[in-house]
Amino acid sequence: MAAVREGETGAVVTGAAQGIGAATALAFAERGLWVAAVDRDIERLGGVVADFGERGLDVRAFPADLTDPGAADAVVAEVEQACGPIGSLVNCAGVLRTGPVTELSDDDWAALFAVNATGVFSMSRAVARRMVPRGSGSIVTVSSNAGGVPRAGMAGYAASKAAATMFTKSLGLELAGHGIRCNVVAPGSTDTPMLRGMWPDGADEAESAERVIAGSPADFKIGIPLGRLARPHDVAEAIVFLCSPGAGHITLQELYVDGGAALGG
């Protein structure tokens, strides 16, 4: 594992145990950054970090449940003590609960907002407090195209992602004067465990994917014009770009990475 040079900044990625979060951690690490991988799934997180370590990449596990009060402040302090200044934060942790509003439980609603909205708030606040004195940094929140386009059976999820989106843009306005950029990446259907969890048990994977790509007129959902599901890597590359010097004059923006499914948002 590469040694961290004094003063060298790195990236914190939440939800890093799988899917887009794991792909983002990998993308940062492959570019030579140290990465603090945060997730509440300790076993899966450990496996991912061990795999990256075998490739010689500097990715370190920081287990944390961001629904616990104080967890964000604690893990951010731990990361900066162990690794160094945080240059980029990627809020990728998320949960999905589906179903009609009339059948959505109070617990489902609370879980969606606890992770998808409050988790984003608490991590962003904790990191921003440390970025402000340094006068630099980048925060990217992984939202969803459902946060801008209504989805039948996904009202709670969409509402939580819309909250995270507007919070991040408002945060960016507050932090712009400190040289800190805040942006949103809004993926569409991406081939992750979260998406596959929506498919019926025992369903053929290829057929399920094709149904997503084709869309569903009955649910007022168009298909994916590019004709394929996104890969986690596709989303990760957009995130890393927004955190890079190449995006140095980009802030308060929402980038849809959905193959055209939202018709440009």
Catalytic machinery residues: 157
Contact 62, 36 (CB under 8 A): yes
- Amino acid in position 220: F
List of residues 6+ apart from 244 with CB closer than 8 A: none
- With vertex at residue 40, the alpha carbon angle to CA 39 and CA 45, rounded to the nearest 5 degrees, is 55
Nearest to 162 by CA among 175, 145, 174: 145
User: Quick one: which H or E segment has residue 59?
Assistant: strand 59-63
Tokens 């944390």 belong to residue: 64
How far apart, in whole angstroms, are the C-alpha atoms of residue 243 and residue 230? Answer: 20
How far apart, in whole angstroms, are the C-alpha atoms of residue 61 and residue 207? Answer: 36
Tokens 């459902």 belong to residue: 146
HSE-up (13 A, CA, CB side) for residue 251: 20
How far apart, in whole angstroms, are the C-alpha atoms of residue 262 and residue 190? Answer: 14
Nearest to 184 by CA among 210, 146, 219, 151: 146
Contact 4, 10 (CB under 8 A): yes
